[in-house]
Structure 1
Amino acid sequence: MANTILLALAPVFFVMALGYGAGRFGIVENHHVDGFNTLVMSFALPASLFAATASASRGELLVQAPLFAIFGGVMLLIYLAWYAIARLFLATGKVGASVQALTVAFPNLGGVGLPIASSLLGATGPVSVAVAMAAGSILVTPITLVVAEMGSLKEDGAVKTPGAPMFDALRRALTKPIVLGPALGILLSLCSVTLNPVIESCLMVIGQAAAGVALFLTGLVLSAQSFEFNWKIVGATALADIVRPLLMVAIVLLLPVPFEIARTAILFAAVPAGFFGIFFAVSYRLDSSTVGSMVIGSTIVSIMTMAIAIAAMFP
């Protein structure tokens, strides 16, 4: 068991440490990471999610439907909980609160979940990760994108017609590659449209870079920030690493969820806070130090919580 946990977690923290060290020692520029950010969010991750979902058979995808539903529901609950806390008690602006909520609610499935799922779940691991990430990309991410896009439109003063900012923000959010990729992949799979092997191979080449580059970039961005330690970081870490998996445990115990789906959902819920919040903060020129500290705190604590989840769910 110790060897299984080590094999699952060591590569994740090793690549993040590489990115952190590269930025801290000036080997790679850690203040201007827009190119890396675009590579991950507009190319590598969307291609990976599209290929994984589109190449799955209709039956395989339907088996994962409960995972999509319960995982998406848990993320939405955690998202709304932190957004309310940030707005009501922490005096955080709408865009900042939405980015923080996304960080806490959406686990780092692309960087941490994918290698762990591949190690523990075998051939079904990438499909399960893709379905869980699709739930976040389709159900949770657009909320943050809409809030951020509305903030950008208001700052630019580009839209004057009443009601138009919401429409424009929604249109821009839903046309982002990170949203379109998994949505189109699921649609093709459900329609039993077979992905051309040449196209699938081409997408997998760029998609295979997603996990490694995302982890490296996470460490790189974190290397440019000083770690904040306050009650906000403690609360976010507790919500992401303790409340989220416990909430998932409660849901799978209450609902008639198949055992394989249940333990996969619990494992994914124990994954630390995700990097989407950091990347969105970079994209929209927001202060990323708070969300970066949330990711650092959650990642450190997850060494213990994920080890417990792996030991309990995969004896």
Structure 2
Amino acid sequence: MTDAILLALAPIFFVLLLGYGAGRYQIVDNHKVDSLNALVMNFALPASLFAATASASRSEMVAQAPLFALFGIVMLAIFFVWYLGSKLILKEAPANASLQALTLAFPNLAGVGLPIMSAVVGPSGGIPLAIALASGSILVSPLSLIIVEMSLNPGSAGAETPAVRILRSIWHALTKPVVLAPALGILISLAGLKTDAVLDACLLLIGHAAPGVALFLTGLILSSQAFRLDWRIVRATVVADIVRPLLAAAIVFSLPIPHETARVVVLLAAIPSGFFGILFAVNYRQDSGAAGSMVTASTVFSIVTMAIVIALLFPS
């Protein structure tokens, strides 16, 4: 068990530290990350998501419907609680509150989830991981982006009605490659269509770069920021690493769903805070410092929480 946990966690922290060191020692410019950000969010990750979902059979996709729904419910619950608390109590700007909520609600499935699922669940873990990623990309990411778009791009004064602004924000959010790719892949799978083997090979070649580059980029961005440890970061770490998996466990183990699905949902919910909030903050020229500190604290603390979840739910 110790070897399995070490095998799952060591590569993650190695690549994170590699990116952090590259930025700290100015081997890579940690203030000019737009190109790497575009590589991950517009090419590598969408390709990986599309290939994983489109290649699944219709029966496999239908079997993962409970995971899609339950994981989506957990993420949306965490998102709304943190967003409303930050906006109403802490008086955060809507854009920052939304990006922080996305950071906590959407685990680092692309960077941390892939090696964890491979080491703990095995080769069969690829499909539920892709479905969980699709759930977050289709449900939570667009919601966060809509809030950011509406708060940062209000349009010319009086030029747009509220309805037009909402529709424009929804359109901008839903046409992001990271949202379109998994949605299209799921539709292809449910329609019973098959993607060409050559296309799959092409997409997987760039898609395989997503986890490593995303982790490297996260470390690179974190190296440009001062780590802030305050009560907000502590609360965020507790929400991401303790409340999220406990909420998932309370939901899945109270419902008549397959035990294996329930275990996978809890394991995925125990993965630390994701980097989407950081990358979107960079993309929209927002403060990524708070989200970066949340990811750092959550990732370090998750060494303990993920080890406990793996030991309890996957003892052999």
Post-superposition shift, 1:174? 0.6
1:120 and 1:268 map into 2 onto residues whose CA distance is 11
- The equivalent residue for 1:50 is 50
The question of whether the paired residues in 2 share the 8 Å contact of 1:150 and 1:169 is answered with yes
Post-superposition shift, 1:151? 2.4
The question of whether the paired residues in 1 share the 8 Å contact of 2:105 and 2:240 is answered with yes
Post-superposition shift, 1:153? 1.8
1:128 and 1:308 map into 2 onto residues whose CA distance is 21
- The equivalent residue for 1:26 is 26
- The equivalent residue for 1:269 is 269
Post-superposition shift, 1:9? 0.5
- The equivalent residue for 1:40 is 40
- The equivalent residue for 1:8 is 8
1:237 and 1:273 map into 2 onto residues whose CA distance is 8
Letter in 1 for 2:251: I
| Deviation sequence 1:279-309 (CA, Å, 0-9, x none) | 0100000111100000011001100000011
The question of whether the paired residues in 2 share the 8 Å contact of 1:153 and 1:159 is answered with no
The question of whether the paired residues in 2 share the 8 Å contact of 1:159 and 1:165 is answered with no
For the structure 1 residues 62 and 159, does the alpha-carbon distance in structure 2 shift closer, same or farther, using more than 3 Å as the test?
Answer: farther
SS in 2 for 1:9: helix
Post-superposition shift, 1:158? 8.5
- The equivalent residue for 2:213 is 213
1:86 and 1:153 map into 2 onto residues whose CA distance is 21
| Deviation sequence 1:195-232 (CA, Å, 0-9, x none) | 10000100000000000000000100000000111111
Alignment coverage as a number of residue pairs: 314
2:18 and 2:277 map into 1 onto residues whose CA distance is 20
Where does the alignment leave 5 or more consecutive residues of structure 2 unmatched?
A: none
The question of whether the paired residues in 2 share the 8 Å contact of 1:95 and 1:151 is answered with yes
What is the TM-score normalised by the length of structure 2? Answer: 0.98
Post-superposition shift, 1:159? 7.9
Q: Does 1:61 align with 2:46?
A: no
Post-superposition shift, 1:258? 0.6
- Give the alignment of 1:205-284 within 5 angstroms: 205-284=205-284
1:131 and 1:99 map into 2 onto residues whose CA distance is 22
1:134 and 1:17 map into 2 onto residues whose CA distance is 27
Q: Does 1:93 align with 2:101?
A: no
Q: Does 1:287 align with 2:306?
A: no
Post-superposition shift, 1:157? 3.1
For the structure 1 residues 285 and 191, does the alpha-carbon distance in structure 2 shift closer, same or farther, using more than 3 Å as the test?
Answer: same
Post-superposition shift, 1:313? 1.3
Post-superposition shift, 1:62? 1.2
For the structure 1 residues 256 and 159, does the alpha-carbon distance in structure 2 shift closer, same or farther, using more than 3 Å as the test?
Answer: farther
Post-superposition shift, 1:88? 1.6
1:76 and 1:90 map into 2 onto residues whose CA distance is 20
| Deviation sequence 1:32-77 (CA, Å, 0-9, x none) | 1010111000100110000000001111111111110100000000
- The equivalent residue for 1:160 is 159
- The equivalent residue for 2:70 is 70
| Deviation sequence 1:75-116 (CA, Å, 0-9, x none) | 000000100110122110111100000000000000000111
Post-superposition shift, 1:152? 2.9
2:300 and 2:89 map into 1 onto residues whose CA distance is 25
Question: Runs (4+) of structure 1 moved beyond 6 Å?
Answer: none
